[in-house]
């Protein structure tokens, strides 16, 4: 399996850190996992506009993005209340698009709550 395919199959926050062999504080990740993945997804989405010349460079960017987001939280970044509520107003349970509003597989699951239909094995534990 190619590394990008392996990356696309990741679902848990810890799996991203393990995939890139990045050390992390388990307590911090346990408490901030949802916020970390949201910010990580936003960085990856912005990076997708870049024309990476190889799988290796793309994965290097993904690792850089993960470390950057994690270090921000490690250094005390706390999302504003508006950011937190926005996640509930426009959620996505897809780890590959991480809370992206551009997910094309969103479907309503209950009373205006949407989830990504392309990833049924999502875990937030």
Q: 64 versus 113: which is more confidently predicted? A: 64
6-15, 22-31, 79-88: least confident range: 79-88
Q: Give residue-wise pLDDT tens across range 54-71.
A: 999 999 999 999 999 999
Please tell me what DSSP assigns to residue 118.
Answer: T
Partners of 114 in the beta sheet?
108
A 10 A CB-CB count for 61 gives 16
Residue range 94-100: average pLDDT?
A: 46
How high is the pLDDT of residue 49? 82
Distance CA 35, CA 99 (A): 10
Contacts of 23 (CB under 8 A, 6+ apart): 17
How high is the pLDDT of residue 114? 46
How high is the pLDDT of residue 58? 92
Partners of 108 in the beta sheet?
114
How high is the pLDDT of residue 99? 44
Mean pLDDT of the chain: 74
Single out the residue of 62, 78, 52 nearest to residue 10, CA to CA: 62
Single out the residue of 21, 98, 33 nearest to residue 60, CA to CA: 21
């Amino acid at each position: 399996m190619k590394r990008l395919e392996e990356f696309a199959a990741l679902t848990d926050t810890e799996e991203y850190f393990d995939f890139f062999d990045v050390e992390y504080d388990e307590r911090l990740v346990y408490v901030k996992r949802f916020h970390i993945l949201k910010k990580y997804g936003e960085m990856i989405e912005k990076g997708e506009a870049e024309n990476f010349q190889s799988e290796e460079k793309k994965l290097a960017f993904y690792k850089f993005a993960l470390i950057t987001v994690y270090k921000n939280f490690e250094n005390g970044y706390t999302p504003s209340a508006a950011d937190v509520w926005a996640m509930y107003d426009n959620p996505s349970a897809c780890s590959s698009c991480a809370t992206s509003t551009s997910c094309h597989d969103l479907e309503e699951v209950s009373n205006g709550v949407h989830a990504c239909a392309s990833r049924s094995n999502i875990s937030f534990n």
